[in-house]
Amino acid sequence: MTEMEHHANLIPWQQLAARTGAELTWLPVTTDGRLDLSSIDSIINAKTKIVAITHQSNVLGTINPIKEIVAAARNVGALFILDACQSVPHFKVDVKDLDIDFLAFSGHKAVGPTGVGTLWGRAELLNEMEPFLTGGSMIESVTMSSATFAEAPQRFEAGVPNMAQAVGLGAAIRYLNGIGMENIHNHEVALTKYALDKLQSIPGLKIIGPTEMKNRGAVFSFTMENIHPHDLGQALDQNGIAVRTGHHCAWPLMRVLNVPATTRASLYFYNDYSDIDALISGIYEAKEFFTAPRTKERK
């Protein structure tokens, strides 16, 4: 793993390690929000069985060098699982080109419904795995003393499918493909560069993560001198600007970066330059409100 993982790609492995006695190891994060690969050969070693890493940080916007890490995993015979929740909705992801074994992403980050997502895996690996849920629809044959299971993906889809959400996710994927993933990516790159340039011109504001565009996505976190991220987020909300505040389900990363929380803005195909201008204006307004001298009330 890495120090920038979302809790969803950390806590399940913690639980598995607690049950099996496995040991978790992770790649560290540099001060500028990139992965430190200097010790990758000692971290991913002959004892490594699974490498599970985020494609893009949901806090920093960092797009990780997956091919390089996959190569290290292949050298020791480890499986590679990619958390693509932050990448699949924003740019083209080719599982064959990346040479990965499994990939997962959620629907709600791809303009789809909540409560649904996708797990892709190599067919031969999926068919070697035991089902984690049992019930109707996932069996091949059943007797009173035993059962055999259907091939993947059916063997992992016990019970009544989440049909409405699945239909919604399919519609969302068709919608994104209709726009074009390259078009979405190019639009986000232009907006992100504009936003980073504007944000870095604000006195007292610090970008948490990469400040240049190389291998960077359209999400950025920042702190503001003398203003708590929650206060800044509330002030922006009152101006109709939607941001996220807190640790963003990445508490270990916050500790590594030595920040209690950040304010985070995310851009997508439906945003334009006026949204960024509104964000910048809102930050200046909040800065003036929270840092202006207060006059004492008369008794």
Q: Give catalytic residues, as residue numbers.
A: 249
Helix axes 229-238, 273-291, angle to 10 degrees: 120
SS3 155: helix
Pairing mode of beta strands 102-106, 219-224: unpaired
Pair of tokens at residue 99: 């040479």
Cβ proximity of 242 and 235 under 8 Å? no
Reading phi first (left if > 0) and then psi (alpha if -120 to 50, else beta), residue 204 is in left
Q: How many CB atoms lie within 10 A of CB 126?
A: 17
Quickly tell me which residue has 């892709």 as its tokens.
120
Pair of tokens at residue 173: 């994927």
Q: How far apart are alpha carbons 183 and 115 in whole angstroms?
A: 27
Cβ proximity of 225 and 204 under 8 Å? yes
